[in-house]
A and B are shown apart, each in its own frame.
Chain A
Amino acid sequence: MTTTCENQVTNHQKTSHSIELDALFRLELSDRNGWTVCASKAAYTWTHRFSQILELPNCKNNYRAPYLVFLKNDKQCHVDLNFAELAFPDNEIREQSDWEHYDYYGMRIYHNTETLDIIYDIGYESNTTENIYNMWAAVHPIYRHAVKSNGIPLHAALAERNGIGILFAAPGGTGKTTTLNRLPGTWNKICDDETLVIPGIEDQYRIHPFPTWSSFLQKKPLMSWQVNSNFKLGAIFFLKHGEHDFVEHLRPVNAAALINQSARQIMKRGWSLSGTAVEKTLKHQVFSNAVELAKKIPTYMLIISKNGNFWEKVEDKLNDRGRL
């Protein structure tokens, strides 16, 4: 449980009360949208760990982008945020923006309609599990931003072959990880839970891997995902178990419904947090983006048997369409 502190600082000038921010890392999507990851001193350790998991590179001195700002309070309350006191690295005054916030797990997330800056108050001292949930929540605004830019997060595993990214989509606990692990060595296994699809040029899409946050909750070994990396999206396969390996082409109307479902599995955790109007807009936008993706990217139902070489069916289908 968190509470808001009494206002302790009334001076709006950048004085000794300012919260100094260090620009540390860079998060960049394939559409050239990106963020400079900043942290206050108190939030440095958390931010460093978060950026390690996302394998974010160090920020270059001349790199300018919107900011992901992480703040932390040592007291058992959220930071009493006065935007004028945030010392952005480029000294740009951003307190004019019309900031709104929503609470997600132990985190308070500030955003505005004028800039792409996002400010995270990660709360006070928390345990490992809470930290992981907060990090999981921290990527949600990135997904929201992508949806507004016609991208879409998908609950899918990502494998790469010959430079092409192939998605294997399914709800949690229904075979994404097992499918990925069964692929032969000719496939590069990138991630097994969350991905972000970003529109590219000429009806193409790029696909970014995102962490399997639940693996940390299951006390699995230290893992990380190169979130800035991306691949050209070649096809989407929705997984289904069966007696024999089989690939069935999905009509765009069915593909759109399944893509929309997959995106909802990711987005539903946080899209109600900004009120019903924002939720409605996000739901409509996700569906619209799912339809566009279904029109442009071949989508299949992949029926997988327990012991068969299902990937041969996948490779055949992709070779037929010149996608590998």
Chain B
Amino acid sequence: MKEVTLNPSVVFRDDLDDIAILYNPDNGKAFSLNQTGAIVWKMLYERKNIDEIVGIVTDTFENTPVEIDDNIQEYITLLIERGLAGYVC
């Protein structure tokens, strides 16, 4: 399984309201994250792999959809496409 690493330039702030914000100073773009997105970001920061993240999200939230692992993978793909994260070679 490929390991995900976060772009070290990106700033994460979750002290504004119930939405967190990711800011990429290299291109000036900011992205808002919902609660789940923020939790996943924090777990990626802690270098947890996708299986661990899926397990924690499933344990934390009620009524987690069966396709949660696909959802998290799509989210990580989105982060990578936007230059906010990448795979460790």
Contacts and interface: CB of A to CB of B under 8 A. Distances in A.
Contacts of A264: 28
A264 B21 CA distance: 17
B62 interface: no
Interface in B14-35: 15-17, 19-21, 23, 25, 28, 30, 32
A34 interface: no
A295 interface: yes
The secondary structure that dominates the A interface is helix
A256 B13 contact: yes
Interface residues of B, number: 14
A257 B25 contact: no
Contact of B30 (A252, A256, A280): A256
B9 interface: yes
B35 to A, nearest CB: 12
Contacts of A252: 16-17
Interface string A247-273: 000011110110011001000000000
A295 B21 CA distance: 13
B28 A261 contact: yes
B11 interface: yes
Interface stretch (A66-74, A227-235, A283-291, A304-312): A283-291
A294 interface: yes
A295 B16 contact: yes
Given A284-B25, A287-B25, A257 B19 contact: no
Contact of A291 (B9, B13, B25, B28): B13
B57 to A, nearest CB: 22
A252 B30 CA distance: 13
Contacts of A288: 11
B21 A256 contact: yes
Contacts of B20: 253
Interface residues of A, number: 17
B28 to A, nearest CB: 5
Contacts of B28: 260-261, 264, 283
A287 B20 CA distance: 14
B11 A284 contact: yes
Contacts of B30: 256-257, 260
A285 to B, nearest CB: 10
Given A260-B30, A283-B25, A287-B23, A253 B9 contact: no
A260 B27 CA distance: 12
A287 B16 contact: no
A67 to B, nearest CB: 31
A144 to B, nearest CB: 15
Contacts of B32: 253-254, 257
Contacts of A287: 11, 23, 25
A253 B21 contact: yes
Nearest to A255: B16
A153 to B, nearest CB: 15
A256 B15 CA distance: 11
Contacts of B9: 280
A278 to B, nearest CB: 12
B31 to A, nearest CB: 9
Interface string A22-60: 000000000000000000000000000000000000000
Contact of A260 (B15, B17, B19, B23): B23
B25 A251 contact: no
A256 B31 CA distance: 11
Contacts of B23: 257, 260, 287
Nearest to A263: B28
Nearest to A258: B30
10 contacts: A251-B16, A251-B17, A253-B20, A256-B13, A256-B16, A256-B30, A264-B28, A284-B25, A287-B11, A295-B16
